[in-house]
Structure 1
Amino acid sequence: MFYAQQKLGWFFDPRRLLAYAEGQPELELASAFWYAGLRDPGDQRPFRDVLTSLGFTVRTRPLRELGGGGTGGSGGGEGEGRPQYVRANLDVEIAVDLMAVAGRTEVVWLLSGSRDLERLVEVLRARGLQVVLMSTEGMVARELRNAADRFVDLASLRPQLEKAEALQPPVFSR
C-alpha cells in the first residue's frame, strides 16, 4: 500500500481507516492487521507502536532489493549495482492471518493490489466470505480485482482517510 499511497499523493491515517471501517453497517471489525517492510529492525518504531496502541496487529519483514544489475538481473548497462525496487513479501502473513479470522467474520477488507493474493481471495469467497478489495486504479492486478466481490478505489475515500497530521503515540496520565 505504500506505493499506492505515493501514487495517490496522500497517505491514509490508520486512526481514520479504523473509524471508517467501524462506521460501516455491514462490517463488524474482528481484527485489523498492518503489514510493513523494514530496512532495519528499528525502522518506523514509533509509528508501529502507535499502530499497536490503536489495535492493529503489526507484521513486518525485511525489505529485499530485487532486479538490480549484476545479480541475476539483465547485467551490465545503466543502473549497474542499483536495485530496480525493494519489496518485503508479506503475502504468506496476509494469507495466514485472513484464514485465521475467516471463521469470525463475514466480510474481509483487503487493502492490496498483489496478484499473488488472487487464490487467497478465491478460497475466502468459497468459504462464504465477502471480500472487499481496496486499492488504487492502475496499481491493482486485474486477476485480484476480478476475484473480489467488490472493488473500492482508495482515491474515492480521500476525504474519509487522508492523514491530516503526524501520528503521535497516545498520552497516558496517572
Structure 2
Amino acid sequence: MYFYPNERTALFIDGANLYATARSLQVEIDYKRLRQHFADRSQLVRAFYYTAIIEDQEYSPLRPLIDWLDYNGFTLVTKPVKEYTDDQGRRKVKGNMDIEIAVDMLNIASALDHIILFSGDGDFRRLVEAVQRKGVRVTVVSSNSTQPSMIADDLRRQADQFIDLEELRDKVSRQRSGQQARRAQVDDSDEDDDYDYYDDDYEGETV
C-alpha cells in the first residue's frame, strides 16, 4: 500500500460494515493499533467512526467500544436505530450511516490529501468519485478473502487502492495472551448473541 509521510489523511470507518468484515475473517480489531498504524504512515488529521445505536436498550454491547473511542482520538458520529415492522409483521431495526459519512467526507475533503474508507458498500462509489475529483486519493479497506466477498466490485474499481483487511490482520488485530484467547473461544457464542442486530446494513430483527 502507498502512503506518503507528508500527506494529510483521515479515516472514515463504517462501524457496522467493518464489524461484519472483521467477523467474517475472525479478526478482533484493536482500534488503538489501527489508528496508530495509519498515523505512523502519514499525518492523520481525523479518525471518524460511524455507528447507529439502540437507545432504549438497558445495556448495549456497543457502549464500551463507543466510550473508549470517544476518549481515544476518534470522532464519534452516532444516531438512534429506527424500528419498523415488515410485511410479515416482524419488528426490525435499521440504522444506515451513509448520509453522515458522505456529508462529513465532502466537508473535510479540501483539507486532506488521502482518505481511507473502511467499508465495502457499493453505494459509496459515487462519493469516492466525487472526492477524487477534488484531488484526494481514496483507499478502501474491506475484504475479498471472504465468501461471499465483502467489497463491491464497482467500489473496488473506483478506489485508488484497495487493502484487504486480511493483509492488516497482524497490524490491527487485538493481541491476546494464551489464557485470554482460550477464554474468548469459550465466550464466542455469547458474544455472537449480543451482536445479532449488528449486521452489514445494520438491519435485522430486534432481539
1:107 Cα deviation (Å)?
A: 0.4
Report the residue type matching 1:158 in the other structure: R
In 2 relative to 1, CA 37–147 (structure 1 residues): closer, same or farther, beyond 3 Å? same
* 1:153 aligned partner: 164
* 2:38 aligned partner: 21
Residue range with higher mean Cα deviation, 157-166 or 40-49: 40-49
On the 8 A contact 1:122/1:147 being kept in 2, the answer is yes
Question: Which consecutive unaligned segments of at least 5 residues does structure 1 have?
Answer: 72-80, 167-174
| TM-score (ref. length: structure 1) | 0.79
Higher RCO (Cα < 8 Å, 6 or more apart) = 2
Name the SS of the counterpart of 1:30 in structure 2.
strand
On the 8 A contact 2:114/2:138 being kept in 1, the answer is yes
* 2:115 aligned partner: 108
Distance 1:114 1:12 in 2: 19
- Alignment RMSD: 2.2
Report the residue type matching 1:50 in the other structure: W
1:67 Cα deviation (Å)?
A: 9.2
Name the SS of the counterpart of 1:58 in structure 2.
strand
1:61-140 alignment, distance < 5 Å:
61-64=79-82, 68=86, 70=88, 81=90, 87-137=94-144, 138-140=149-151
Name the SS of the counterpart of 1:70 in structure 2.
coil
Distance 1:157 1:113 in 2: 16
Match of 1:56 among 55, 63, 74: 74
Question: Which consecutive unaligned segments of at least 5 residues does structure 2 have?
Answer: 1-17, 181-207
* 1:39 aligned partner: 54
Give the percent of matched residue pairs that are identical in Structure 1 and Structure 2: 33
On the 8 A contact 1:30/1:101 being kept in 2, the answer is no
On the 8 A contact 1:61/1:89 being kept in 2, the answer is no
On the 8 A contact 1:109/1:134 being kept in 2, the answer is yes
- In the alignment of these two chains, the number of paired residues is 153
1:88 Cα deviation (Å)?
A: 1.8
On the 8 A contact 1:134/1:152 being kept in 2, the answer is yes
Once superposed, which parts of structure 1, at least 4 consecutive aligned residues long, lie more than 2 Å away? Answer: 39-46, 61-69
On the 8 A contact 2:84/2:91 being kept in 1, the answer is no
* 2:22 aligned partner: 5
On the 8 A contact 1:37/1:60 being kept in 2, the answer is yes
Distance 2:94 2:143 in 1: 18
Report the residue type matching 1:28 in the other structure: Q
Report the residue type matching 1:19 in the other structure: Q
1:62 Cα deviation (Å)?
A: 3.0
In 2 relative to 1, CA 34–157 (structure 1 residues): closer, same or farther, beyond 3 Å? same
In 2 relative to 1, CA 11–65 (structure 1 residues): closer, same or farther, beyond 3 Å? farther
From the two aligned structures, give the one with the greater strand fraction: 2
| TM-score (ref. length: structure 2) | 0.67
